[in-house]
Structure 1
């Protein structure tokens, strides 16, 4: 409520509510800060009322708004800590040793880094103790920053010094960036956000990409508030102009965030469609982390040629799974979600640790597994599409397997290494250097897993739920600079279109100003398609524009026809189908659609020859016959209509067929026969639906049509009663 008042610039009301909340905390410093802000605001208002011109008034007002937001967050955090309901945030804060600060943590990490550079036996007890101390320091750093109040300038400077230190490992700085981001998800802290910008520009690749993921997610979460911080807007503009890879990195991250947002859909597809089809083939068996192909020699024995159809379906599903993996979809979330119960994941920090096979929690992992299997394991860990937390899960799972099962797995994996081609792939995988997009993808996977799988996840506000619909630069003002790169906007719009986010894709296509681009029919086609898929009437005009630029496109004409039908322009739709029929005169689909449009436009006479042609081309179809009969009724050719409907009814009629026959007979003055036909229709409805309600509604809906034959509503109501008596008998 306070934040809402500040956003609406109701500063007096915001100060009033803040005062009441701060009074409950008994925080004298915060009380004094609020009182000083109120006095400053009073003086500012007095100057305004007295007509005093102050060139600094706008910037001063902006600072007061920023300060109000800051006090609101401080009061909210203070209230949370005072209530201490036992949530993870308060428990973590209370567990920190007295006197914990960033400078001490910085010193400890630097000391460890310096000591690690000395040539000592890595297996010595002293080194192991030092690693344990380092692990405790990292956990302390993570917990301290996550639960910290708003940073001072000295806090930010210390964090930047850690980032630039030659003695602090890249992985440690990646954790530093992650905990600053997690803290920002709790409360907006401009200095922490500025630190993320610093990390993106100056940090190592893993820290830089994590920082940019955080920047984008925080900008989306706090879009409304960040409009009040021109320094952040300026920083975004500067990076966008100066950093050549910024926009490419940002669009990669937006794509990965969108793919993660669709993880539940992907896993449902894997579980319900792709995996069952693969398993049905009998050519694969499922293992813990994928599929293992059964010996090819066995699959060649007595193959049945009739299997080719199922084989093509299998290939289609395998190709679909491969495509999902290639585009970065999180296809292993379902598998690894079952492996997050290890004690390692009780610490929040561990969900964000870059994978390190030498981490103390894994013990002597390399020594505990045979030299035959380790190259394979390392290759999987380096080249596999897994998140960091998944890699830890994988290692914990392997360590938990013992005896015969471990031996069988070792032998099977070792056999795979004997294959020369596979061996080459795994050998290269060990030396693969991750790219920027690999770091951001793995980090987003880690974030998604934490917010959806962590034991106490309900205590966190899931940032993947911050948006309805798709991630796009248009969802946050500060991402506006991403719209300057036409190629990237086009590619991302096409990606969203492929993922069926048609409304968001259409807005991106719109931003490319198709009206100002000469001869770009394809852009108009894509815009029209997205409009049509999102039921936007602008689709028709967009198709017409595409058609004018590329008039011979069958795709455009057929979609223009469909859009015209959708939005009630049946005359234009019929014209489009005429154009399509010029090159394919016997196309039944086009003929049917044309006749439907003519009937919808009440052009029954013109529809009849089209329908007779359909009937000639496809004599078995009763659809054309029904439409012919209806057109005959509407053109008052009652004898032919009756004859046609009677033919239909002898072949197996629906309730609607009997009703329409009744209309024809009634219009011809054959009341008794009409009632008999209506009675058959009502009985058919009762048999199908259990009651006559739908039949009554159908008759009432056709009242206007019957009025053309001088049959009024009273007479129609009496006929319905007569039908009911007939049904009783």
Structure 2
């Protein structure tokens, strides 16, 4: 497979070949605006090549070639952007609108326009009356058109120079520029980087994060930085990026913010999953109970109790408790960082307002000319309280306002009474007043929700979604696995791994620690988390190797011994597993699980007598424990006592009921029925075993029987009998 132009530049670092490929690409696409730049780079490259062919070697030749490589990459990115703009009409529109409104877009003229807006507003404070309101509305409308165009200009702008980077950094730090404008500019830069990487735009985000005094701007810049880091390290091309990230990783406070940001990105990436959980498990319970009323004093229960409620007070109390539990679950999810509002607000993005890309990232303001909100908020201050104090991202605030403005006059009187109150909605939703809205965590969370809604719901899918899973399973915004972050100095990677493991994402732990980091550099905690992740993922041999290494270094580590024992058991190395489980029983003799696994390992390993002695003792002490019953029944089977096994499996299935029966209970009890001669019931159990798995995910019965061949053979089931049984089961399908 031939390398792409980008690979030729970044991987092979072949300037001459890349220029030839670029020239051909530009001719194919009819792109002429960068021909002069192409010829300049080609001329400089040819001079260097001619000098070398004549035996002349410049002492600074390495630096000159690195410069040519950067210029070639810059040219490639401009050509690529040009082709993208031509491909998508919305980007073509952005360029045309920007040329009409912003012009060349030099930073000095941009700064003058932004400062002029602030000055014009200040001048209007000298006046009063209707003329002042009309003038202010006109100023906001004109400025919004300019900001839409500026956002589009940045979105489709060619590669920046270092001078532009410094000028924009100065502009964003200026106290005479409105913060909302700065926030929109940062988002425009981020979106531009997601289309085509530009080292100077990326470094602008770094400069804003490190040096800008505004928390709002800093956190937007941080999110933009981590979502647009290149996925390939090259000193010749991305040396500034590498130095910047290395500097961040050496600072404990910034490492902490990087960790927090990655965790928040993980929560954001699971917004649809969380929304589905709320829709499936929580909302049905809340909708069952329609006896809650909203008043200006909060959410209260309606006073319409029936005689059934009075006579069945315990049932009613249980129903109320269930509602409280579900509400607590939602609040707990929100406190941890889950995006609990996505499901509801995702259906409210069809307004024409959201056809403009910049509006998805515009900080909420009642002065936005496309919502005309001042009059409604003056009449219903409760709405303003919800918008200003509610834990909603800016995109959802616009959705809420637009939706409510269409129906507000049709709402019931009690709702209107609440909205006319200054504190009614806040009282009804007490979590609104318990949030530090100025904290870095909160600012980032709200911005990430804005980003998530844009990438998930904007109809023109022209941007790579950072919340979407890549081919390997990790989502694009999983930047801790990026090559630039592999030198993380502190314990942050281990902390993230613990978080992911608790969130039941061992795949991400394995990807980050197993594939994206040097095994020799892993801490002991990271090795444990990686080994347990492999165990969860079914990559047993990899887990065993790491557990073995940990035990060689760490001695009596109970968790590692347990992991080692489980790995050996799953690999069917039962005698070795039994030795490890025996160590665990010495360390903790009261642990039923250790004793149970020891007994099973001994039985499966051929030491049936000693294994059954362990299992008999357990069963005597815990005769109603389902896991002990399972082990004991399997032990009877290994000891060639199928009648005793059959009796115990029947007891187990009756005691477990449908809710607690495991698929293996059905398979193993099917074996027993088969061995005692009840073939019809054996087939029924095995059919139920296969049906217990989702469609297409059932294990192969042939493989299962091959794995259990020793036990079956010991109980008189010969190979030809197995073959006939499998054929019979196939005939039932």
**1:111 paired residue number:** 116
- On the 8 A contact 2:260/2:441 being kept in 1, the answer is yes
**2:697 paired residue number:** none
Give matches, 1:316-355, under 5 Å. 316-355=325-364
Give matches, 1:308-323, under 5 Å. 314-323=323-332
What is the distance in 2 between the residues matched to 1:273 and 1:112?
A: 49
**2:150 paired residue number:** 141
- On the 8 A contact 1:417/1:423 being kept in 2, the answer is no
Change (3 A) 1:479 1:292: farther
- On the 8 A contact 2:187/2:220 being kept in 1, the answer is yes
Candidates 126, 129, 139, aligned match of 1:120? 126
Change (3 A) 1:695 1:236: closer
**2:466 paired residue number:** 463
**2:281 paired residue number:** 273
Change (3 A) 1:643 1:141: closer
**1:502 paired residue number:** 506
Return the offset for 1:21. 1.7
**1:218 paired residue number:** 228
Return the offset for 1:61. 2.0
What is the distance in 2 between the residues matched to 1:399 and 1:699?
A: 66
**1:253 paired residue number:** 261
Return the offset for 1:171. 0.7
Return the offset for 1:644. 4.5
Q: TM-score, normalised by structure 2?
A: 0.78
Q: Please list the CA deviations of residues 445-464 of structure 1 after superposition, one character each: whole Å capped at 9, or x if unmatched.
A: 111111111132x2332233
* Residue aligned with 1:167, SS: coil
Return the offset for 1:129. 1.6
Return the offset for 1:581. 5.3
Change (3 A) 1:126 1:64: same
Return the offset for 1:347. 1.0
* Residue aligned with 1:361, SS: coil
Candidates 675, 683, 687, aligned match of 1:660? 675
- On the 8 A contact 2:437/2:443 being kept in 1, the answer is no
Change (3 A) 1:225 1:91: farther
Find out whether 1:179 has 2:185 as its counterpart. no
What is the distance in 2 between the residues matched to 1:623 and 1:405?
A: 60
> Based on CA coordinates, which of the two structures has the bigger radius of gyration?
1
**1:484 paired residue number:** 489
- On the 8 A contact 2:544/2:568 being kept in 1, the answer is yes
Candidates 631, 634, 653, aligned match of 1:627? 634
**2:532 paired residue number:** 529
Return the offset for 1:335. 0.9
Give matches, 1:43-82, under 5 Å. 43-48=47-52, 52-81=56-85
Change (3 A) 1:382 1:602: farther
Change (3 A) 1:275 1:208: same
Change (3 A) 1:594 1:284: farther
What is the distance in 1 between the residues matched to 2:703 and 2:149?
A: 71
What is the distance in 1 between the residues matched to 2:432 and 2:705?
A: 73
Change (3 A) 1:562 1:284: farther
* Structure 1 stretch displaced more, 440-449 or 496-505: 496-505
Return the offset for 1:13. 3.3
**1:666 paired residue number:** none
Change (3 A) 1:210 1:466: farther
* Structure 1 stretch displaced more, 612-621 or 178-187: 612-621
Candidates 562, 566, 576, aligned match of 1:562? 566
- On the 8 A contact 2:274/2:340 being kept in 1, the answer is yes
Change (3 A) 1:369 1:695: closer
- On the 8 A contact 2:269/2:467 being kept in 1, the answer is yes
- On the 8 A contact 2:595/2:614 being kept in 1, the answer is yes
What is the distance in 2 between the residues matched to 1:438 and 1:111?
A: 31
* Residue aligned with 2:112, SS: helix
Change (3 A) 1:45 1:284: farther
* Residue aligned with 2:228, SS: helix
Change (3 A) 1:528 1:297: farther
- On the 8 A contact 2:193/2:201 being kept in 1, the answer is yes
* Residue aligned with 2:204, SS: helix
What is the distance in 2 between the residues matched to 1:281 and 1:181?
A: 45
* Structure 1 stretch displaced more, 54-63 or 256-265: 54-63
**1:437 paired residue number:** 441
What is the distance in 2 between the residues matched to 1:700 and 1:235?
A: 56
Q: Please list the CA deviations of residues 164-190 of structure 1 after superposition, one character each: whole Å capped at 9, or x if unmatched.
A: 433220111111111122122222222
Find out whether 1:3 has 2:30 as its counterpart. no
**2:240 paired residue number:** 231
Give matches, 1:701-716, under 5 Å. 716=720
* Residue aligned with 1:463, SS: coil
Candidates 374, 387, 409, aligned match of 1:403? 409
Return the offset for 1:332. 0.6
* Residue aligned with 1:102, SS: coil
Change (3 A) 1:29 1:441: same
What is the distance in 2 between the residues matched to 1:600 and 1:254?
A: 44
What is the distance in 1 between the residues matched to 2:723 and 2:493?
A: 63
What is the distance in 1 between the residues matched to 2:552 and 2:420?
A: 60
Return the offset for 1:40. 3.0
What is the distance in 2 between the residues matched to 1:8 and 1:212?
A: 27
**2:104 paired residue number:** 101
Q: Please list the CA deviations of residues 298-348 of structure 1 after superposition, one character each: whole Å capped at 9, or x if unmatched.
A: 699566346676666555543332222112221111111111122221111
Unpaired runs of 5+ residues, structure 1, are 634-640, 662-676
* Residue aligned with 1:120, SS: coil
What is the distance in 2 between the residues matched to 1:202 and 1:182?
A: 21
Return the offset for 1:658. 4.1
Change (3 A) 1:508 1:647: closer
* Residue aligned with 1:151, SS: coil
Find out whether 1:92 has 2:94 as its counterpart. yes
* Residue aligned with 1:148, SS: coil
Q: TM-score, normalised by structure 1?
A: 0.79
* Residue aligned with 2:237, SS: coil
Find out whether 1:391 has 2:397 as its counterpart. yes
What is the distance in 2 between the residues matched to 1:711 and 1:158?
A: 82
